[in-house]
Structure 1
Amino acid sequence: MRSLLLAGAIAAAAPFALVAMPAQAQTAVKFDSRATVEAVRKTLRENYVLKERRPALDAALAKGLASGRYTVTDPQELASRINADLDAVAHDKHLGISFNPQVAAELKPGGQGDDDGEQAQFFRDLAHRNNHGVTELRVLPGNVRLLRYDGFMWTGAESQAAIDTAMAFLRGGDAIVIDLRTNGGGSPDAVRRLASYFVPAGAKLVTFHMRDEKPTVSNADAEVAGGRITGKPVYVLTSGRSASAAEEFASHVKGFGFGTLVGETTAGAGYRNDSYPIPGGFVLSVSVGRPELPDGSDWEAKGVPPRLAVAPDLALDRAQQDALTNLAGKAQGPLRTELEWAAAVHAARIARAAPALALAAYAGRYGERSIAVEGAGLIFQRDGGPKSALVPLGGDLFALERDPRTRLRFVSANGAVTGFVLERADGSKIEASKA
């Protein structure tokens, strides 16, 4: 298994968390807990990235052995207790042990899997099934182009082609959104390729310090398909689940200043890890390297903070609001109104704007159009046409979710809704009375 910048924000040993053991395979397992713990101690003494922390990790495990804490028969319980003790010392999201005989059997004793073997094929197949992490490409209102990237997967030419295809799509947008909110990390090679579209050719991205080896430097690619992307607003969405390689990319967004981070501070999982087989069918993920950004910093244990802080579920709305507002400032005529109205929809969602009246007051027939209460909102439909949710903009003003260029401004008399005016961004209006 290659060293990866890959972590789960909570679960340890993320590189092999993808390979879940069937429940029936976890029962009636015999193992020597002492031999397991001693193997963990030896592996950490020889490989953990921070030499000054190795004695404290070893002391914690020795204490657990002496107290009988690890004298258990359930392998999952043993893994849980070891992880708790390691976390109390290191708070390292790449450090942890997992019970997984299947992966343990595929790993070489030195900690490296067979790159040409079954495990390497597993990850190649995984990347292929998930389009190498590129899980969604979408055009949003205002020609804002969205890439949802769920993993920095890298198998070589195929992964590069997937990234290049995604970037060709984004290039056509007036603004770009890259969603890393559920991206737990992956390969530095994928980070390099994606970042290369936004930073100068050959730019120093990160230096990796691996064990006692000579540091290695990752530099931006000299060439990318279609050339660098410049002059477009770029927004990168993050959450506490954005980890490791996703945090390296977020660091480049911040360090090179080519985009705006939106959401919440990332996980703070900065180290690179290898996986080692441990007697008893266990796999130990060990941090064996650390990154160093061009300014000498890293993101371990602190994460990368956003410039626009907002709850993760509102990050896309916040990015769209900002992008559309900026685009509207450069537009004129109906297009400017269209972009401003679209931005207002996202602002209202973030502020959770409330209507002036109870939802039921707006329901009813308005000529060939109808409005109904469905769930916690209102649904607008023209006879024979598609349904669209109505987004409250505050007071008696609503926008059509399917078409933010259209608004409904309700009219009331003596506290009762009597009709609405359908307004369009091009200035046209349609008045309708309530039956």
Structure 2
Amino acid sequence: MKYTFLCILVCVALFNNARAQSANGKSKPVSVKILIDSLDRALDRIYIFPDKSKMMGSYLKSQMKKGAYKNISDPKLLADKIGSDLQTVHRDGHLRIHYDPEFLAREAAQQKNSGSPDFTEAIKQAKAENFAFRKVEILDGNIGYVLFHGFNGFIEEAKPTLHAAFRFVSNTDAVIIDLRNNGGGSPWMVKQICSYFYQERTRLNDIYERRRNKTMEFWAEPELADTMKLSMPLYILTSKHTFSAAEDFTYAMQVNKRAIIVGETTGGGAHPTGPVDVGQGFVVDIPFARSINHITQTDWEGTGVVPDIAVASDDALPKAQTLALEAQAATATTDEKKKQVQWSLRALKAHEYTSTDNTIYEKYAGTYGKFSVTLKEAKLYLHDFNGRTFLLKPIERSLFLATDWLQAEFLTSASGSISLKLLGKPGWEDIYERTK
């Protein structure tokens, strides 16, 4: 476990470091042949798909014979070109090559310092970033919302944050987990977070490692959930940027029918990866293992996780809210609960004004008892007796959202007179006749 996590952590660090580096001073000319041969051997020895590694090696050699790399003197540009050619043969979002001449020196220094990784600074940084957790809140309709951007590998250090986040939403009627900008991380964090949502030990996605020809099973373990049992409906938001461990989490939840996936098809990366030195300052991140689900006997590599409800990424949150509220409406047992749910469903339809034509709404302007409605720049505003002003956002032609607890509806009688109906979030309603 520590080895795999270290590989993933170093891979991410090297990738970010390589992006930031620029060639400093003059470097020795690169022998492309030696580089390609070394890369070919590494892929053949380690890459998770032996048949693909042979195809990639053959393609790189054919490109070299054609002179595709002959005039590339910048090592970083050479790495980019080779990386692009690798993806031409077989698309793998985890397979990358970069120029990092300091890689071996860092490895030697690490070995000198007791031979074990020192995560002190990495843990400090993870804490500063709140272990990638960005937002936890209760949305209208008692729906929990949890947003995080990564599956951090420091499980024990992160547990207080995790427990606090999921305990905050433990009394909700549904939970939405937002992974639309989650790039992945540790499979052990996937296991930890999954464990909050299962009432019994449940198998997730396994990881098969080619070099050792071994499969590591991953299970959701309820005893890891700090006594919480989150059995409410779960919705997971995805986008094309949802990747790696975020897909691992999503796929396991979908296959086990524990969550409804809403959004876009994910990025399609299912391979744990580690850095390998291939000489002359070049490092290749090689996927040495693959995820595999014991039910489907496959994974999401190259295809992504296909959502249950396909919508544009920007529309995923309101769609999931709508689904959760509709489920509440279907099971509501009191009129008050039904009114509250309908109020929330209507509120989700509120939108910005799309017309600049004053004539559309001018008939609603006027005084309604202790309330007044004004029209300014084709937008309606509600003014109450406490001096507060609310922009009325359209829901339907005569129905508007004033705040997260108040809606306003204009009723037109058969004779043409207009009344103002105020609908409060708890379910109360008041009607005011227009006096001016």
**Does the alignment reach a TM-score above 0.5?**
yes
Percent of pairs with identical residues: 25
Please tell me the residue identity of whatever aligns with 1:41: D
Higher relative contact order (CA 8 A, sep 6+): 1
Alignment check: 8 A CA contact 1:5 1:187 kept:
no
Q: Where do 1:46-125 residues align within 5 Å? A: 46-71=45-70, 72-101=72-101, 105-107=105-107, 116-117=116-117, 120-125=119-124
Q: Aligned pair in 2 of structure 1 residues 117, 360: CA closer, same or farther (>3 Å)?
A: farther
Quote the Cα distance in structure 1 between the aligned partners of 2:432 and 2:35: 76
SS at match of 1:77: helix
Distance 2:115 2:324 in 1: 43
Distance change >3 Å, CA 365–CA 32, structure 1 → 2: farther
- 2:130 aligned with 1:128: no
Provide closer, same or farther for how the CA distance between residues 204 and 420 of structure 1 changes in structure 2, counting only shifts above 3 A.
same
383-392 vs 225-234, which moves further:
383-392
SS at match of 2:181: coil
> For 1:380-420, what per-residue CA distance to the aligned partner results, in whole angstroms no more than 9, with x for missing partners?
565876765543222121123x31x422223679xx99774
Structure 1 counterpart of 2:41: 42
CA distance in 2, matches of 1:339, 1:32: 69
Q: Offset of 1:70 from its aligned partner?
A: 2.1
| CA contact 1:95–1:286 (8 Å) conserved in 2 | yes
SS at match of 1:215: strand
The answer to whether the aligner puts 1:160 opposite 2:159 as a matched pair is yes
Change (3 A) 1:124 1:263: same
Residue 322 of structure 2 aligns with which residue? 321
| Shift in alpha-carbon separation, 1:58–1:22, aligned structure 2, 3 A | closer
Q: Residue 90 and residue 359 in structure 1: after superposition, are their counterparts in 2 closer, same or farther (change >3 A)?
A: farther
Per-residue deviation at 1:434?
9.2
Task: Give secondary structure in 1 for the equivalent of 2:283.
Answer: strand
Q: Aligned residues, how many? A: 420
Q: CA RMSD in A?
A: 3.7
Tell me how far apart the structure 1 counterparts of residues 417 and 19 of structure 2 sit (CA, whole Å): 59
Residue identity matched to 2:422: L
* Shift of residue 421, structure 1, vs aligned partner: 3.4
1:337-371 alpha-carbon deviations (Å, 9 max, x no partner): 1221212232x26xx79889836754767576565
Structure 1 residues 58-99: Cα deviation after superposition (integer angstroms, max 9, x where no partner)? 112212322332231233322221111000111111101234
- Give the secondary structure class of the aligned counterpart of 1:292: strand
- CA drift of 1:230 comes to 4.7
Partner of 2:331, secondary structure, is coil
- Corresponding residue of 2:241: 241
Q: What residue in structure 2 maps to residue 10 of structure 1?
A: none
**Separation in structure 1 between the aligned mates of residue 382 and residue 20 of structure 2, nearest angstrom:** 47
Equivalent residues of 2:205, 2:218 under 8 A apart: yes
**More displaced 10-residue stretch of structure 1: 216-225 or 253-262:** 216-225
- Asked if 1:202 corresponds to 2:204, the answer is no
Range that drifts further, 287-296 or 99-108: 99-108
- Structure 1 gaps, min length 5: 8-12
| Partner residue, 2:312 | 311
Shift of the 244–410 alpha-carbon distance from structure 1 to 2, 3 Å rule, reads same
Residue deviations 1:197-241 (CA, integer Å, cap 9, x gap): 223543222221112212221122250334453541111111111
Gaps of 5+ in 2: none
The answer to whether the 8 Å contact 1:95/1:287 transfers is yes
- Structure 1 211/16 Cα, relative in aligned 2: closer, same or farther at 3 Å? same
Q: Which residue type is aligned with residue 324 of structure 2?
A: A
- Cα 1:220/1:386, change in 2 over 3 Å: farther
8 Å CA contact 2:43, 2:53 repeated in 1: yes
SS in 1 for 2:82: helix
Contact 1:181 1:238 in 2 (8 A): yes
Q: Which has the larger radius of gyration?
A: 2
- Native 8 Å contact 2:196 2:222 kept in 1: no
CA distance in 2, matches of 1:6, 1:90: 22
Alignment partners' CA distance in 1, 2:258 and 2:238: 15
